[in-house]
Structure formats: structure tokens, C-alpha cells
């Protein structure tokens, strides 16, 4: 090399932005360029002659660095290694090194040239990116709503943990497949239509709106879900579907709707029975009077013992028979309703009461009623006619809500308890309470304080509780409002959890 | 028609809160030659009781009245040592109450509305028989016992429940059989006991001493 060549090389070495360090074969520093000085804060004068691992290398990396150094020294092929350098003020920089051995010449001893690239910032960004991806994934996987992302072609890109649970697929089975596999046939065509329309017009019927649709599980079961789709543009268009499995919700809704229907049906029957019962009693009195009067006339005629009288008496006896028939009809009507087959089975008392409350309280939130429940686990299971008992609970709860229509304080408390051989269900309100006038005839039919009331509810409730060998009572509380409660005796056939 | 007419000077005290019923039943009894005194309540009857001629008299009382009810009146009379044959009148389906009345010593019960024949035969029994709880006829008693012992265990059980005032449904539940089966047992039971009505069945039970 000429002198000029050497000075040119020197200039290159000192002006290049990459750190370049030249080491002797024992690891001592021969050259430490400007970039190295900027990087570490050491001047070349401070470091020349010192071994790199004595002050620049982290303790934990010394072993690895030395072994790479040995390898470089013993071989002609360049080596690459990433390690930290400690700076003068205690910081550290991550540097990607390329090392190459240079054989000894007449001018130079053998040495190793290491050229580095400071990748500290690049690596921390990369790390942050991968951390934020992991963070995002953990959120997606923790979401109780299934999250699925797809391309605009419908190809599934990601499938969250909840998606796996809801649909019954492992994510590996669905990635890359078309999202149509998650819907029943009749939803597939709708779905295609929606996508097509959206891509063409940019108008989304499905974007940003929650929609009830039917999804298809792996086992072929259809599943009612609420679907919410949003989209974002990356280097391609991505759809994000949020899918909430509402199977349980629908089941509960259906059960409550059924309970409501049954209650209404039985309510009507019960009202009819109660009315029939009252009518039977009221009507039976004049029928008795009429039958007796006609019987009296018949007897009188017979005593006179004349042929024509006897014929007339026969007609009167026939009239008595007809009166009795009228009485029978009412009796039958009453018996029909009374003797309706009651379906007694073992039921969880709390569940029965809870369902009835839900039905009775539809709309109560809107009325500003604050409801608290206190269901004792000791209530257990009892042999009862579920619908009938629910009818009683509904009656009591509706009465309580109605009683609080005009009051500022609207608190409803429903509780169950078990004590002294019976299970008790209580309904307490903070309404106007029971007037003295009503109190005397509380459970009699046609007695009501409501403007549009029939006065049948409590009367039916009493009949039902009587039929269960229980008791029902209502009274004003010491504070505002009143309490209604019924008790059902615990029999040997009931299952009560131990105390 | 075999309406038996009243024995001489027999009188009936009629207690019912319904005016029309009092008028009607009083007319029927009068036509059957009973002397009738009507009362609108148990209280009214008790008020007049000291002045009433109780010999050769019977009482026809409604079980369901405001104030003192038929059964209570019956108990009160028994407690006061007033020996008056009592027939109770019930509305439909109050068998339980009727049975209780009979166990407290009522001679019979009548379901409203009733015919002249029914009320006549009930009253005839009230007047002709000694009070039912009193010395039963020996041969009749042994006859009853023979019939009673011919019952199956199930029929005996059903009999006991009926006398205790249970409805068919309640019996069914207590014995864990269907109400329809209870009906069958009851029919057989009545045939075997030669009882024409529940009232008669209860009366027999009282005579047999199988009531509590």
C-alpha cells in the first residue's frame, strides 16, 4: 500500500458512521475509531492497549464474546455476533458485529477488524412492537366475546380463545378457511350478499350495528348470536367480527315466556274457578230458597190429595229437579276448576320464586322500583304445583308494585326462609299499606283497593295455599308498607338441605 | 211420594243468615207440618234459647254464617248440655265440614238445595232415633260391625280418611294412590256398608266408634 492509500483508509475509518475496532490477537485494542468514541464516550487514548472484555463487555456476555473472538482468530471466515457494549457513563448499546481476521504483513501484526452496527433503537422498537402484539392478543383472548378477523374475501385471519369455545373449533382448523364455515347454509347467502353490497357501495348494513344472526357450531348445532362487525384498512381491508353467544340468554327468555304463558292460562282458569266458587255460593242460596218454596207448594197440594193437585204437585217436583240441576251445573263448574289435575313435583323453591318474580317484575324497573331479593339456600326443594305457587308469588309481587305507584319510596323485598318445619316466602313493599276496611276481607273474592282490580288475586292465592296445606297472611309493617307471606309445611317427601 | 209428615207437635229451629232461604225452608217445613221458628243468626238463637221448648224439637242450621258458625253453635249447645238433634246444611263440597259436624254429634247433613223428601227423612231420623251417640241398637250394631269387618284394608283406610273429613284428592295424596282409585274404593265401601250417602257413612262410623 502506498502512503496515500493509507491516509485515505485512515480518513474512511475515522469518518465512517459505523463503529470499527481493531484488536490485537490477545484482545487488546489497537484502533478505536471516532464512531466508537461517540458510541462509548471513551476517547481512543483511554482505551488503546486495554482488552475489550476488561471494560466494554457485560459480565454475562464475556464468555460468549471471547469464544467468538477465539473462533475469529482461528479461522479465515468472518463471524457475526450481537452483543452489548458498556458506555463510559454506565449505559449500554446493542451492537451487531461483523468480525474478520487479517493476517500479519510486513507492516502490520495480525489483527481482527470488527465493524459494528448500533441496533439499540431498532431492537427496542421491534420489542415494543412484539410486546404490543402480545398485549393485543391477550386482550383478544381474554374477551368474553368471540373475536374473528377476516379478509374481505372472507378468509379467516384470527380466531380468539372465546371463538374456539363458542364454535368448538381449534383455531388451527379455521385459519385460512372461509368464514362461511361458521354459519348455516341460509345465513351464508345472506352473508355473501352483505359483503358484496358493502364492497360495491361502501354502504354497510352490517358494519357498526349489532345484529342477531344464527351461527353454526362444529357439532352442527345452530347457535343464536349477536354479531357486531367493524372494519379497518391495513395494507388490506380487514373485517373484525365480535360474536356474542346468546344461547343461554335465549333459553332463559324462552323459559320465562313459557312461565308467563302458563301463569296467564292458569290465572284465567283460577279466576274462573274463584268466580265460579263465589257464584256457586251466592247463587245457591236463592236456588235453595226457590227449591224449598216450590217443594212447600208441592207438599201442600199433595196433602189435599186431589187428582188434579197430584198432577200439579208432580210438575212442581219437576221444577225442583230443574232447580237442583242448575245448582249441579254450578257445582260442576267449580269442581272442574278445583279438581284440575295439579302437577306436584319436587321443585327448588328459590328457583320457582325467582322465575315468578322475573315475570311479575317485567317493567318494574321503569317504574323506579328498587328490588332486593334474599333467597335462603335452606329453602330447598318441595313437592308443589309450580305454576300455582308461581301464580301466588306473581300476585303478591304485582300487588306490591301496584301499591307503590304513588309513593316516593319504592322498595320491594322478596325473601325465602325455612324455619320450624315450614318454608316461608315473603314479599314486602313500602307502599300505602292495607286500609282498615280492606284488611277485614283481605282474602275474600271481589275485595279490592285497585281501581281496575277484580279482587280475585288474593282470593285465588289463598285457595292455592290452602290446597298446599299452607297458610297465607298479610299485614301492615311497623314502618311504611305491608308484608304478604305464605308458608308451606315441610313434609317427609320434601328435600331440604341440612342446616 | 213418600214424604213423611211431622210427628205431632214437632218443632224445628231454623238458623240461616239468608232471608230467602229462611222463608223458603220454613215454608217447606210448615208444609210438612212442622212448627218452625227461624233465626237469622246463631247469636239470635242463643238469645232466645232459654225461652224455647226443647222437647220434641230439632235444629236445622247452616254451617257457614257470619259471626258464630254452625259448628260452634253445635259445640256451645253440647257444652251447655242442651240435647237437641242437629242437622247441618252445607253449600256444595263442604263434606269436610259436614263430617266434622257429624262427629260433633249432628244427626245428618243436607246439601243445599234439598228436596222435601230429603229434609223430611233427615228430620224423621232426628225425631225417631234417640240421639245417635246414645245407646245404639244392639242387633244393628253387630250387623254394622260384620259389614265393617268385611272391608278390605284399603277400604278401611279410605273410610277412616273420609270420616276424618278428607276430600278424595287429599285421600289420594295421603295414601299415594290416584283420586280415581279412591273413588272406586269409596263406591265399594258404600255398597258394602249399605250406606246411601256420606252422611250415613259418617253416622255409621260414629255408631261403630271408629271416630276419634
Q: Is residue A119 within 8 Å of A104, Cβ to Cβ?
A: no
Distance separating alpha carbons of residues B165 and B71, to the nearest angstrom: 14
Best of A278, A281, A285 to substitute, by most chain B Cβ atoms within 10 angstroms, is A285
B76 & B49 share domain:
yes
Domain encompassing residue B72: 11-128
**B31 and A285 in contact by Cβ < 8 A?**
no
Q: Does some domain include residue B4?
A: no
Q: Does domain A3-118 have CATH number 3.30.720.200?
A: no
Which of B66, B97, B128 terminates a domain? The answer is: B128
Would you call A297 an interface residue with chain B, using a CB distance cutoff of 8 Å?
A: yes
**Shortest Cα distance, chain B CAs vs residue A263, angstroms:** 23
What is the ipTM for the molecules in this complex? 0.72
**pLDDT level of residue A4 (50, 70, 90 thresholds):** low
Would you call B18 an interface residue with chain A, using a CB distance cutoff of 8 Å?
A: yes
Distance separating alpha carbons of residues A395 and A456, to the nearest angstrom: 10
Residue B147 in grid coordinates: 259389614
B82 & B176 share domain:
no
Distance separating alpha carbons of residues B9 and A489, to the nearest angstrom: 52
Would you call B180 an interface residue with chain A, using a CB distance cutoff of 8 Å?
A: no
**Shortest Cα distance, chain B CAs vs residue A221, angstroms:** 42
Q: Domain A344-489 is of which CATH architecture?
A: 2-Layer Sandwich (3.30)
pLDDT tens, residue by residue, A81-118: 999 999 999 899 999 999 999 888 877 788 999 999 99
Would you call A468 an interface residue with chain B, using a CB distance cutoff of 8 Å?
A: no
Q: Shortest CB distance from B21 goes to which of A280, A285, A335?
A: A285
The answer to whether the A3-118 and A127-245 domains have the same CATH topology is: yes
Distance separating alpha carbons of residues B63 and A297, to the nearest angstrom: 26
**Average pLDDT of the residues in A270-290:** 78
Query: Domain ranges in chain A?
Result: 3-118, 127-245, 249-338, 344-489
Which pLDDT score, from 0 to 100, does residue B2 have?
43
Q: Is residue A167 within 8 Å of A215, Cβ to Cβ?
A: yes
* Closest alpha carbon within chain A to B116: A295
Would you call A286 an interface residue with chain B, using a CB distance cutoff of 8 Å?
A: yes
**pLDDT level of residue B15 (50, 70, 90 thresholds):** very high
- Distance from first CA to last CA of chain B, Å, rounded? 38
A216 closest CA partner among A243, A248, A182: A182
Distance separating alpha carbons of residues A381 and A367, to the nearest angstrom: 33
Which pLDDT score, from 0 to 100, does residue A423 have?
93
Burial degree of A442 (CB within 10 A; 0-12, 13-18, 19+): middle
- Residue A381 β-bridge partners: A348, A495
Residue A480 in grid coordinates: 311504611
**B25 and A300 in contact by Cβ < 8 A?**
no
Q: Nearest 5°: CA angle at A459, between A256 and A272?
A: 70
Distance separating alpha carbons of residues A273 and B168, to the nearest angstrom: 19
| Pairing outcome for strands A422-428 and A482-489 | antiparallel
Which pLDDT score, from 0 to 100, does residue A335 have?
62
**Shortest Cα distance, chain A CAs vs residue B196, angstroms:** 19
pLDDT tens, residue by residue, A448-484: 777 666 677 888 888 888 888 889 999 998 888 999 9
pLDDT tens, residue by residue, A58-69: 999 999 999 999
Which of B107, B128, B149 terminates a domain? The answer is: B128
Lowest mean pLDDT among A398-402, B100-104, B155-159, B178-182: B100-104
More confident call, B55 vs A208: B55
Residue B145 in grid coordinates: 260391625
Which pLDDT score, from 0 to 100, does residue A375 have?
94
Annotate B54-70 with DSSP letters as a single string.
Answer: -TTEEEEEES--SSS-H
Q: Is residue A237 within 8 Å of A215, Cβ to Cβ?
A: no
B153 closest CA partner among B122, B189, B177: B189
**Shortest Cα distance, chain B CAs vs residue A357, angstroms:** 29
**B92 and A331 in contact by Cβ < 8 A?**
yes
Would you call A305 an interface residue with chain B, using a CB distance cutoff of 8 Å?
A: no
pLDDT tens, residue by residue, A369-406: 889 999 999 888 888 888 889 889 998 998 898 888 88
**pLDDT level of residue A416 (50, 70, 90 thresholds):** very high
B124: domain CATH number?
3.40.50.2300
Q: Does some domain include residue B6?
A: no
Distance separating alpha carbons of residues A316 and A296, to the nearest angstrom: 9
**A299 and B3 in contact by Cβ < 8 A?**
yes
Output Rg (C-alpha) for chain B, integer angstroms.
18
Lowest mean pLDDT among A18-32, A252-266, A343-357: A252-266
**Shortest Cα distance, chain A CAs vs residue B115, angstroms:** 7
Q: How many CB atoms lie within 10 A of CB A7?
A: 10
- Distance from first CA to last CA of chain A, Å, rounded? 102
B119 & B157 share domain:
no
B197: domain CATH number?
1.10.10.10
Which of B128, B154, B171 terminates a domain? The answer is: B128
**Average pLDDT of the residues in A328-334:** 71
Distance separating alpha carbons of residues A478 and B204, to the nearest angstrom: 52
**Average pLDDT of the residues in A17-37:** 92
Q: Nearest 5°: CA angle at A96, between A60 and A16?
A: 130
Distance separating alpha carbons of residues B116 and B5, to the nearest angstrom: 10
More confident call, B98 vs A336: B98
Q: Does domain A127-245 have CATH number 3.30.450.20?
A: yes
More confident call, A466 vs A29: A29
**Average pLDDT of the residues in A145-163:** 91
More confident call, B179 vs A48: A48
B58 & B25 share domain:
yes
* Closest alpha carbon within chain A to B4: A299
**pLDDT level of residue A340 (50, 70, 90 thresholds):** low
B23 & B124 share domain:
yes
**A324 and B115 in contact by Cβ < 8 A?**
yes
**B169 and A339 in contact by Cβ < 8 A?**
yes
Mean of pLDDT over chain A: 85
Phi-psi region of B81 (alpha: psi -120 to 50; beta: other; left: phi over 0): left
**Number of separate domains in chain B:** 2
- Residue A223 β-bridge partners: A215
Residues of chain A with Cβ-Cβ distance to B64 below 8 Å are 281
Would you call A295 an interface residue with chain B, using a CB distance cutoff of 8 Å?
A: yes
Which pLDDT score, from 0 to 100, does residue A82 have?
92
In this prediction, what percent of chain A has a pLDDT beyond 70?
92
Residue A239 in grid coordinates: 373485517
Q: Does some domain include residue B72?
A: yes
B16 & B121 share domain:
yes
Q: Domain A249-338 is of which CATH architecture?
A: Orthogonal Bundle (1.10)
More confident call, A59 vs A201: A59
Residue A352 in grid coordinates: 320457582
**Average pLDDT of the residues in A67-82:** 90
A464-470: long-range pairs with CB below 8 Å, 24+: A464/A270, A464/A385, A464/A388, A464/A389, A464/A391, A464/A392, A465/A392, A467/A342, A467/A385, A467/A388, A468/A384, A468/A385, A468/A388, A468/A389, A470/A422
Q: Does some domain include residue B133?
A: no
Q: Does some domain include residue B170?
A: yes
**Shortest Cα distance, chain B CAs vs residue A262, angstroms:** 23
**Average pLDDT of the residues in A323-346:** 70
Q: Residue holding cell 368471540? A: A146
Beta strands in A12-127 (DSSP E): 20-24, 29-32, 79-86, 92-102, 111-118
A299-308: long-range pairs with CB below 8 Å, 24+: A299/B3, A299/B28, A299/B31, A299/B32, A299/B116, A300/B31, A302/B1, A302/B3, A303/B5, A303/B31
- Would you say the C-alpha torsion B54, B57, B63, B64 has a positive or negative sign? negative
- Residues in A 113-152 with any Cβ partner in B closer than 8 A: none
**Shortest Cα distance, chain A CAs vs residue B171, angstroms:** 13
Distance separating alpha carbons of residues B212 and B203, to the nearest angstrom: 13
Neighbour order of strands in the sheet with A29-32: A29-32, A20-24, A111-118, A92-102, A79-86
**A291 and B115 in contact by Cβ < 8 A?**
yes
Q: Is residue A213 within 8 Å of A189, Cβ to Cβ?
A: no
Neighbour order of strands in the sheet with A482-489: A370-375, A411-419, A422-428, A482-489, A471-476
Give yes or no for residue B10 having a pLDDT over 50: yes
Which pLDDT score, from 0 to 100, does residue A159 have?
93
Amino acid at each position: 500500500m502506498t502512503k496515500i492509500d493509507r491516509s485515505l483508509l485512515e480518513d474512511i475509518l475515522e469518518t465512517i458512521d459505523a463503529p470499527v475496532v481493531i484488536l490485537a490477537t490477545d484482545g487488546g485494542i489497537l484502533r478505536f475509531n471516532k464512531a466508537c468514541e461517540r458510541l462509548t464516550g471513551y476517547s481512543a487514548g483511554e482505551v488503546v492497549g486495554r482488552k475489550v472484555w476488561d471494560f466494554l463487555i457485560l459480565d454475562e456476555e464475556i464468555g460468549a464474546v471471547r469464544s467468538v473472538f477465539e473462533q475469529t482468530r482461528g479461522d479465515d471466515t468472518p463471524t457475526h455476533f450481537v452483543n452489548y457494549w458498556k458506555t463510559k457513563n454506565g449505559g449500554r448499546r446493542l451492537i451487531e458485529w461483523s468480525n474478520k481476521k487479517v493476517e500479519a504483513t510486513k507492516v502490520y501484526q495480525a489483527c481482527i477488524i470488527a465493524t459494528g452496527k448500533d441496533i439499540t433503537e431498532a431492537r427496542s422498537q421491534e420489542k415494543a412492537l412484539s410486546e404490543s402484539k402480545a398485549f393485543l392478543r391477550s386482550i383478544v383472548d381474554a374477551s368474553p366475546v368471540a373475536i374473528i378477523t377476516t379478509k374481505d374475501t372472507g378468509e379467516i385471519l384470527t380466531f380468539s380463545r372465546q371463538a374456539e369455545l363458542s364454535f368448538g373449533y381449534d383455531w388451527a382448523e379455521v385459519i385460512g378457511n372461509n368464514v362461511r364455515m361458521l354459519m348455516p347454509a341460509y345465513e351464508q347467502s345472506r352473508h355473501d350478499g352483505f359483503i358484496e353490497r358493502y364492497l360495491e357501495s361502501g354502504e354497510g348494513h352490517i358494519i357498526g350495528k349489532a345484529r342477531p344472526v344464527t351461527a353454526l357450531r362444529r357439532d352442527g348445532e345452530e347457535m343464536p348470536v349477536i354479531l357486531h362487525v367493524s372494519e379497518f384498512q391495513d395494507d388490506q381491508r380487514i373485517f373484525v367480527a365480535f360474536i356474542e353467544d346468546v344461547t343461554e340468554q335465549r333459553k332463559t327468555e324462552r323459559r320465562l315466556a313459557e312461565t308467563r304463558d302458563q301463569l296467564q292460562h292458569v290465572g284465567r282458569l283460577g279466576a274462573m274457578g274463584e268466580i265460579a266458587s263465589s257464584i256457586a255460593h251466592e247463587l245457591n242460596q236463592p236456588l235453595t230458597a226457590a227449591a224449598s218454596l216450590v217443594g212447600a207448594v208441592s207438599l201442600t197440594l199433595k196433602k189435599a190429595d186431589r187428582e188434579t193437585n197430584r198432577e200439579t204437585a208432580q210438575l212442581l217436583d219437576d221444577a225442583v229437579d230443574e232447580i237442583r240441576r242448575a245448582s249441579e251445573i254450578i257445582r260442576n263448574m267449580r269442581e272442574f276448576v278445583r279438581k284440575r289435575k295439579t302437577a306436584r313435583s319436587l321443585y327448588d323453591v328459590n328457583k320457582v320464586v325467582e322465575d315468578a318474580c322475573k315475570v311479575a317484575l317485567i317493567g318494574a324497573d321503569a317504574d323506579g322500583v328498587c328490588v332486593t331479593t334474599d333467597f335462603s339456600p335452606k329453602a330447598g326443594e318441595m313437592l308443589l304445583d309450580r305454576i300455582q305457587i308461581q301464580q301466588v308469588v306473581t300476585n303478591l309481587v304485582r300487588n306490591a308494585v301496584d301499591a307503590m305507584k304513588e309513593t316516593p319510596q319504592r322498595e320491594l323485598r322478596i325473601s325465602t326462609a325455612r324455619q320450624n318445619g315450614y318454608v316461608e316466602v315473603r314479599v314486602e313493599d313500602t307502599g300505602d299499606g292495607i286500609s282498615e276496611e280492606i284488611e277485614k276481607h283481605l282474602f275474600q273474592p271481589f275485595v279490592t283497593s285497585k281501581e281496575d282490580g277484580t279482587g280475585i288475586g288474593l282470593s285465588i292465592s289463598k285457595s292455592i295455599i290452602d290446597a298446599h296445606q299452607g297458610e297465607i297472611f298479610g299485614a301492615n309493617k311497623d314502618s311504611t308498607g305491608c308484608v304478604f307471606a305464605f308458608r308451606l309445611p315441610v313434609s317427609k317427601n320434601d328435600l331440604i338441605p341440612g342446616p | 211420594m213418600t214424604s213423611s209428615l211431622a210427628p205431632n207437635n214437632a218443632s224445628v229451629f231454623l238458623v240461616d243468615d239468608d232471608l230467602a232461604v229462611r222463608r223458603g225452608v220454613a215454608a217447606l217445613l210448615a208444609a210438612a207440618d212442622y212448627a218452625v221458628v227461624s233465626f237469622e243468626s246463631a247469636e239470635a238463637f242463643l238469645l232466645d234459647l232459654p225461652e224455647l221448648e226443647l222437647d220434641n224439637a230439632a235444629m236445622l242450621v247452616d254451617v257457614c254464617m257470619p259471626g258464630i258458625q254452625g259448628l260452634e253453635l253445635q259445640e256451645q249447645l253440647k257444652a251447655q248440655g242442651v240435647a237437641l238433634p242437629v242437622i247441618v246444611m252445607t253449600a256444595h263440597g263442604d263434606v269436610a265440614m259436614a263430617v266434622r259436624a257429624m262427629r260433633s254429634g249432628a244427626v245428618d247433613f243436607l246439601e243445599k238445595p234439598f228436596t222435601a223428601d230429603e229434609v223430611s227423612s233427615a228430620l224423621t231420623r232426628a225425631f225417631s232415633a234417640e240421639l245417635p251417640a246414645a245407646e245404639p241398637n244392639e242387633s244393628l250394631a253387630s250387623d254394622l260391625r260384620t259389614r265393617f269387618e268385611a272391608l278390605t284394608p284399603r277400604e278401611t283406610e279410605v273410610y277412616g280418611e273420609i270420616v276424618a273429613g278428607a276430600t278424595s284428592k287429599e285421600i289420594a295424596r295421603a295414601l299415594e294412590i290416584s283420586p280415581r282409585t279412591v273413588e272406586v274404593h269409596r263406591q265399594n265401601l258404600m255398597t258394602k256398608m249399605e250406606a246411601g250417602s256420606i252422611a250415613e257413612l259418617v253416622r255409621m262410623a260414629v255408631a261403630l266408634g271408629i271416630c276419634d
